[in-house]
C-alpha cells in the first residue's frame, strides 16, 4: 500500500462520524490537492474523468505533500487545520461545464481530467449539515472578527505605569505559573493564544484565562 493510500484511509476515519450521520456506509471518498491555476479565481481541484463518470457525489479532504531536502515525498498532511470535509455534488453535465485537460502519466498513458473551483463545493460539517464553501469562509471570517474584540474585552490588562515600574530585586516575587508575566516577556505563543483564542501558550495560567474568556462568549 502506498503512502497516499494509507493516508487516504486515515483521512477517511477522520470523517466517519459525518458519514454515519449522512447514512453513507460506503461513500465515494478521496483526497486531493487544492491548487491555483492561471486565469482562474481561487483554488482549484482536479477530478479524473472516471471519477465524474461514476455518477456519485464525491467527498474530499484536501492535503499537502511534505518533501525532504531532495524533493522526495516523506509525508502527507491535512491542508485545512479544521479537517474540512468537502462534497462535489454529482453533475451529469460536467463535460459541458468544466475545462477538459488531457495529460500523460509516468507510463506514457493519456488520461482526461476536469478542473473545478473549490467555490463550487460544499463543506460537510461533523454533524452532517452542509453549507456552500464560500458561505463557510464568510461565516468563519465573521466569527473571527467578532471573537477577537470579545476576547480583548475579557482580558484585564494591568496599569502599565504601576505594574511595570522599576522594582527592587527583593520586591520581585514572581513564582512559576501562578504569577503574571511582564509584557516585555510575552512570547509569540502567548500572543497566538490571545489572538486565536486557543490554549497554545506555554503558560498554563494564560491558557486557563483564554479558556475562561472563550466560555463566556
- Split the chain (217 residues) into runs of 10 and give each run's mean pLDDT: 95 95 96 94 96 97 96 96 96 95 90 96 90 94 74 53 51 50 72 76 82 73
pLDDT score at 154: 57
Asked whether residue 139 is domain-assigned, the answer is: no
Cα 89 to chain centroid, rounded: 21
Say yes or no: 159 and 110 in one domain: no
Q: How far apart are CA 191 and CA 200, in angstroms?
A: 9
- 160 and 90 share one domain: no
Structural domain of 60: 3-132
Q: Rounded CA gap, 88 and 97, in Å?
A: 14
Same domain, 18 and 93: yes
What pLDDT shows up at residue 116? Answer: 97
The answer to the question of residue 32 being in a domain is yes
Q: CA-to-CA distance for 23 and 58, rounded, in angstroms? A: 15
Task: Report the DSSP beta bridge partners of residue 77.
Answer: 64
pLDDT given for residue 217 in this prediction: 64
120 and 35 share one domain: yes
Q: Which residues of 176-186 are buried (b: 16+ CB within 10 A; e: fewer)?
A: eeeeeeeeeee
If DSSP codes are grouped into helix, strand and coil, which group holds residue 132? Answer: strand
pLDDT the model gives residue 170 = 44
The set of long-range contacts for 5-8, using a CB threshold of 8 Å and a minimum separation of 24, is 7/31, 7/63, 7/76
Is 47 inside any structural domain?
Answer: yes
Structural domains counted in the chain:
2
How far is 78 from 65, CA to CA, in rounded Å? 9
Residue 188 shares a structural domain with residue 113: no
Amino acid at each position: 500500500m502506498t503512502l497516499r493510500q494509507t493516508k487516504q484511509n486515515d483521512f477517511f476515519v477522520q470523517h466517519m462520524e459525518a458519514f454515519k450521520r449522512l447514512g453513507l456506509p460506503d461513500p465515494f471518498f478521496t483526497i486531493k490537492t487544492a491548487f491555483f491555476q492561471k486565469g482562474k479565481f481561487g483554488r482549484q481541484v482536479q477530478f479524473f474523468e472516471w471519477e465524474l463518470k461514476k455518477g456519485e457525489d464525491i467527498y474530499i479532504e484536501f492535503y499537502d505533500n511534505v518533501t525532504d531536502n531532495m524533493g522526495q515525498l516523506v509525508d502527507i498532511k491535512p491542508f485545512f487545520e479544521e479537517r474540512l470535509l468537502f462534497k462535489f455534488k454529482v453533475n451529469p453535465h460536467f463535460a459541458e461545464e468544466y475545462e477538459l485537460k488531457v495529460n500523460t502519466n509516468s507510463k506514457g498513458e493519456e488520461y482526461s481530467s476536469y478542473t473545478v473551483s473549490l467555490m463550487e463545493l460544499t463543506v460537510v460539517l461533523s454533524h452532517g449539515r452542509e453549507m456552500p464553501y464560500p458561505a463557510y469562509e464568510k461565516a468563519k471570517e465573521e466569527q473571527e472578527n467578532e471573537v477577537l474584540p470579545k476576547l480583548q474585552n475579557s482580558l484585564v490588562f494591568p496599569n502599565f505605569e504601576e505594574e511595570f515600574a522599576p522594582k527592587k530585586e527583593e520586591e520581585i516575587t514572581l513564582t512559576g505559573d501562578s504569577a503574571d508575566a511582564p509584557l516585555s516577556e510575552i512570547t509569540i505563543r502567548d500572543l497566538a493564544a490571545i489572538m486565536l483564542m486557543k490554549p497554545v501558550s506555554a503558560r498554563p495560567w494564560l491558557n486557563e484565562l483564554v479558556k475562561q474568556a472563550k466560555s463566556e462568549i
